[in-house]
Structure formats: structure tokens, C-alpha cells
């Protein structure tokens, strides 16, 4: 009898040790290390995650879609993604006493332990790694534009070097402990450069001989460009991939669950998103028509000082946005190394793993700096599922709304729209990348 009791004590000690180890790991991992965020952190992070490189391509997307389809697509995407974001905020603590701090944890609860990982992790990683690659290109392009505007008579420097300069910042910043380490600066920069793009374009007014017809001369070209533009819009609404990770930083009690503060921040963020997106997209297309560039700030030339400032704010914002998307990737890599491969949590492990990831995104960005094509391809291929319809599928599985009820219909409509986006828009994006690659020389 005594021996048995000793065995039980030993077992409970092992459980306690396991629990202590789990807590130590969670305190070390970037997503769960800090739970003191306020509602405005939710607003900061959601704006930073959403208003990224995507806003700069929206006037170009409008030129490929046209006024009617363009306005419809932008407004419809804003409404659908606000709805699916609300679903994710609600599902964060849908199981009493448990928090789904990561997108894949919610997926595992809905689809099963293994299937949930297989469905969510590849999609989420594609989004986050893809976004970081696009941000490497955006940061490099904006630095180059800043240099060219400030010093028009200087020797031309390759885009490759500017991407490397931008990446060098991340070799340092990537070692910040968690999401709350970088927020306010990036939010301010996102709003400022959107305002500058909108004001500078509006001040310039409608260009002579502005043309609102489709740029492509062939029917096939028009269709492919239309599909690519749908991907651009999908890319612009990408915050869902980090929303549970953002909510994980907010404290939660039975009286005051995290969803209250989180939703307050999301509403503020979405109002800012609406202002930035609709003004830049509509004014940019109104002023330039089908002659607009795939990055609105690249086409603006005067006043030089304002354009230089705007591009520098893009760099500041994309620095923060890169980190918001990289943090869940760091969390996945470090969880794998520490939990599965049993590495000891330490600074050296973090230094090697994070620096390797930054180097990888930099190299891919240097090899494929096709801003428009990358946006369209990633926007449709990975962003549409994780943003437009996977939250709806999870909601149908977990919450089980009555068949043919309003909730049931809304979710199925979102699923159909999302699947169409996922299937069609990468086709246009891939075609753009192939066309751009024809005349491209590596490391130019």
C-alpha cells in the first residue's frame, strides 16, 4: 500500500515537473510571454498587420478591376473580413478555462489534433513568410525611392543593396522578446504614409488624358489582370493570420474576458483601415486611371520632399509590420526546437533561428522583387483561405448554427467567395510574375 502511494507521489511529481517545464517554455516563447496588453495594443497591432504593403497597390488593383467591380470588391472584402475577424475574437476563449493563443490551436480543436495542424500551419506559414518576403521588397523599394528622390544626381544603386540594408535592421529587431515590444511607431507610420499618398495624389488632381478603361488590349490579358487584382485586394486584408496571437497578449478573467478589449481595438483598427484603404484606392485611381503604378508612392514625383518623407514612413511601418508577421513564425520555430527537439531555451538558440529566418526572407526577396505579382499570388493562394473562409468553417464546426439560419447562410456565402478567390486570383498573379521575370536579371 505504502509503495503504491509512493508511486502515485512520484507520478504527481513528474506531472508537476512537466507542468513547470511547460510554463517555463510558455513564459519564454514570444506569443505567450506577455499578457499585459491593453485594448489599444489590439488596435496598434491590427492596423500594423492590416495596413501594410497592400494599401499601396490598391489604386493599381482598382485600375485592373474598374470602378464598379473595384468599389464592390473593396467594400465587400472589408465587411466579410470584419465579420470573420469577429468570429476569431469570439472563438479565442470559446472553451471555458482554455485560450487558443495560436491560429493552429483553434484549427486543431475544430478539425482534430493532426488534421488541424495540416490544414492551418502550411496556410499560415505561407501567409506570414510570404508577407515578410513582400515586405523585404517593399522596404528595399521605398529606401531606393527615398535615395533617388533625395539625391537625383547620385550614382544609381541596385535594389538588391537596399533590400540588404532593410534586412540588416531585422537582424537586430528580430531579437525583441514579444509583440508588444514594437507597436505605436509602426501604427503612426502606416496612417501617415497613407495620408501623404492620398493628399499628394489629390493635390496633383486628375492627370491629362486620364483613361479609366482596362490597360490590357486582349480579352485574355483583361481577365488575367482582373484575377490578379482580386489577389491584391485579398492581400490587403491579411490581419487574421496573427489575430489570435495578438489576443494572446491581452489579460483575461471570467469577469473581463480578453474578447472585450480585443474587439474594441479591432473596431478602432478597422475604422482606420477603411480610411486608409478607401481614400488611397479611390483617389489614386481617380487621378491616374490605368497609368497608375503597382505601388502608388513610386509614381508620385512632386513635391520631392513629401514623397521622400512618405517613402521613409513606409520603411518605418514595414519594419514594424515585418515583426508582427515574423513573431508567430519565430514562435512556431522555437516551439518546434524546444518542445519537440528538446533544445534548451536560450539566447543563442533564438539568435541562430531568427537570424536564419531573416536571411531566408532577404534572399528570396532579392531573387524575386516583383511587388505586384507577389501580392496577387500570395493574396489569393494563402490569404483568401485564412482570412475569408477558414474562420467560417471553424465557426460552423464549433458553434453549429441551425441549418438554413441567417448565420448558416452568411458563413456559406463567405466560404464560396473565399474559395473562388483562392482558386482564381493566383492564376493572374503567377502570370504577372512570369511576365516580369522575362526581362529580369538576378541581383540587379
Q: How far, in Å, CA of 227 to CA of 221, rounded? A: 10
Residue 51 and residue 355 in contact, taking contact as beta carbons nearer than 8 Å: no
Q: Which has more pLDDT, 29 or 94?
A: 94
Residue 330 and residue 357 in contact, taking contact as beta carbons nearer than 8 Å: yes
pLDDT beyond 50 at 8 = no
pLDDT beyond 90 at 255 = no
**What's domain 33-100+128-438's architecture?**
Up-down Bundle (1.20)
- For residue range 125-158, list pLDDT tens digits in order: 888 888 888 888 888 988 998 898 888 888 888 8
Tell me the domain boundaries of the chain. Answer: 33-100+128-438
- In this prediction, residue 5 has a pLDDT band, given cuts at 50, 70 and 90, of very low
What pTM was computed for the model? 0.81
Q: Which has more pLDDT, 28 or 331?
A: 331
Alpha carbon 258 to its chain's center: 22
Burial class (CB in 10 A: 0-12, 13-18, 19+), 125: middle
Buried b (16+ CB within 10 A) or exposed e, 334-364: bbebbeeeeeeeeeebbeebbeebbeebbeb
Amino acid at each position: 500500500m505504502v509503495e503504491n502511494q509512493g508511486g502515485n507521489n512520484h507520478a504527481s511529481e513528474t506531472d508537476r515537473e512537466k507542468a513547470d517545464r511547460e510554463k517555463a517554455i510558455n513564459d519564454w516563447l514570444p506569443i505567450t510571454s506577455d499578457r499585459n496588453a491593453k485594448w489599444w495594443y489590439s488596435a496598434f497591432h491590427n492596423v500594423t498587420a492590416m495596413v501594410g504593403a497592400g494599401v499601396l497597390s490598391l489604386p493599381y488593383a482598382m485600375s485592373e478591376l474598374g470602378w464598379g467591380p473595384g468599389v464592390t470588391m473593396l467594400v465587400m472584402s472589408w465587411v466579410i473580413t470584419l465579420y470573420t475577424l469577429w468570429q476569431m475574437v469570439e472563438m479565442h476563449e470559446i472553451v471555458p478555462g482554455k485560450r487558443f493563443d495560436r491560429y493552429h490551436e483553434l484549427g486543431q480543436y475544430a478539425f482534430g489534433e493532426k488534421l488541424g495542424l495540416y490544414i492551418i500551419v502550411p496556410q499560415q506559414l505561407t501567409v506570414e513568410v510570404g508577407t515578410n518576403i513582400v515586405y523585404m521588397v517593399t522596404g528595399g523599394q521605398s529606401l531606393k525611392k527615398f535615395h533617388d528622390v533625395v539625391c537625383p544626381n547620385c550614382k544609381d544603386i541596385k535594389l538588391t543593396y537596399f533590400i540588404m540594408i532593410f534586412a540588416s535592421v531585422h537582424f537586430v529587431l528580430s531579437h525583441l522578446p514579444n509583440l508588444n515590444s514594437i507597436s505605436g511607431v509602426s501604427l503612426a507610420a502606416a496612417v501617415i504614409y497613407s495620408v501623404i499618398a492620398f493628399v499628394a495624389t489629390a493635390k496633383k488632381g486628375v492627370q491629362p488624358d486620364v483613361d479609366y478603361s482596362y490597360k490590357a488590349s486582349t480579352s485574355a490579358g483583361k481577365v488575367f489582370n482582373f484575377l490578379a487584382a482580386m489577389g491584391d485586394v485579398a492581400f490587403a486584408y491579411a490581419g487574421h493570420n496573427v489575430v489570435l496571437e495578438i489576443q494572446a497578449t491581452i489579460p483575461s478573467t471570467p469577469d473581463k474576458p480578453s474578447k472585450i478589449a480585443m474587439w474594441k481595438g479591432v473596431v478602432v483598427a478597422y475604422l482606420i483601415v477603411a480610411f486608409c484603404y478607401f481614400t488611397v484606392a479611390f483617389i489614386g485611381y481617380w487621378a491616374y486611371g490605368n497609368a497608375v503604378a503597382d505601388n502608388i508612392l513610386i509614381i508620385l514625383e512632386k513635391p520631392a520632399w513629401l514623397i521622400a518623407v512618405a517613402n521613409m514612413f513606409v520603411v518605418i511601418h514595414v519594419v514594424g509590420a515585418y515583426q508582427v508577421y515574423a513573431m508567430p513564425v519565430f514562435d512556431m520555430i522555437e516551439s518546434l526546437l524546444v518542445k519537440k527537439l528538446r533544445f534548451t531555451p536560450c539566447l543563442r538558440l533564438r539568435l541562430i533561428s531568427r537570424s536564419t529566418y531573416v536571411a531566408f526572407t532577404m534572399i528570396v526577396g532579392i531573387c524575386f522583387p516583383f511587388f505586384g505579382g507577389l501580392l496577387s499570388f500570395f493574396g489569393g493562394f494563402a490569404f483568401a483561405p485564412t482570412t475569408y473562409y477558414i474562420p467560417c468553417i471553424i465557426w460552423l464546426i464549433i458553434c453549429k448554427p441551425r441549418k438554413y439560419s441567417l448565420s448558416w447562410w452568411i458563413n456559406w456565402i463567405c466560404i464560396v467567395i473565399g474559395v473562388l478567390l483562392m482558386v482564381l486570383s493566383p492564376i493572374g498573379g503567377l502570370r504577372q510574375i512570369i511576365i516580369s521575370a522575362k526581362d529580369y536579371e538576378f541581383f540587379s
